[in-house]
Amino acid sequence: MIIKRKPIIAGNWKMYKTVSQALAFVNELKRAVDEIKDVEVVVCPPFTALFQVSEALRGTGIGVGAQNVYWVDEGAFTGEISPLMLKEAGCSYVIIGHSERRQYFGEVDDYVNRKIKAVLAHGLTPIMCVGERIEERESGITEKIIKTQTEAGLAGLVADQAAGLVIAYEPVWAIGTGKTASDADAQQVIGFIRKLVSDLYGADVAAKVRIQYGGSVKPQNAAGLMAQPDIDGALVGGASLDVDSFSGIVKAAAGV
Ligand code: 13P
């Protein structure tokens, strides 16, 4: 049986946009992607804007995600935000294990795994990020790194949970550098991730899980990436901050 996966284009705003800037952006975005069908669109603002952005997007079909989470529901964890809080703020997705969190905030595979389990327990969808650094690619250990990160992130998940995940392959050397992975290189690693999921959970789960590419995605290179058989969308940083470029990527994924 052939399973058709709906592409998902998510904008990771990182630490950009105040509440008023976020609201102005989504009100414009609503109009820009109004006619687009068959592509899921998600924005991931900073925590401070989540609630108001969710309210502004209610009923539009555009989803809202957070960029991080802690794995406990509540408690004395100064500065942290729980899955429960994200859910009530209107989120349905949570980016987990982004390379910037791994690089600057000490996030390790075990935290990624705990966070994934915590958000799944609240019915939120994790967008689990994996990716190799330039020195790892150059020394030929890309697949080893991707295998370690993927298997550790998914540890202890059952098949149904794995099938509903979004995984984002973001080669660290392609993030914010303007150096996109070639269509073939991105497909190769994403095909490898799907094979890993298949080895862990079987072909049916692997056929359902959506795997995005991220790293310098722009309207100009999106169509080529999206045309690859295993690439189911994009996690977009810089180009997601501008309505024209973000909606251009959504349109490329929709083939319009
Ligand atoms: P850029 O699109 O700015 O390269 O960032 C990618 C990214 O980190 C998305 O999570």
> pLDDT tens digits for 169-181?
999 999 999 888 9
Q: Is 150 in the pocket of ligand 1 (CB under 6 A)?
A: no
Ligand 1 atom closest to Cα of residue 100: 8
CA of 236 to the centre of ligand 1 (A): 5
CA distance 26 to 24: 6
Q: What is the CA(136)–ligand 1 centre distance, in A? A: 19
Give per-residue pLDDT as tens, 107-137: 999 999 999 999 999 999 999 999 999 999 9
Q: Is 8 helix (H, G, I), strand (E, B) or coil?
A: strand
Catalytic residue set: 98, 170
Residue nearest to atom 2 of ligand 1 (CA): 237
Residues 44-77 have pLDDT tens digits of 999 999 999 999 999 999 999 999 999 999 999 9
The residue count of the chain comes to 256
On the question of pLDDT at 92 being above 90, the answer is yes
CB atoms within 10 A of CB 3: 11
Mean pLDDT of 10-36: 97
* Cβ of residue 237 lying under 6 Å from some atom of ligand 1: yes
Residue 31: CB atoms within 10 Å: 10
Backbone angles phi, psi at 39, to 5 degrees: -130, 130
pTM: 0.97
**Predicted local confidence at residue 46, as pLDDT:** 98
Q: What is the pLDDT of residue 26?
A: 98
Mutate to test the pocket of ligand 1, among 96, 127, 217, 221 (most ligand atoms within 8 A of CB): 217
Interval 20-30: pLDDT, tens: 999 999 999 99
pLDDT > 70 fraction of the chain, expressed in percent and rounded: 99
Q: Is 68 exposed, middle or buried (0-12, 13-18, 19+ CB in 10 A)?
A: buried
Instruction: Quote the pLDDT of residue 119.
Output: 98
C-alpha 141 to ligand 1 mean position (Å) = 22
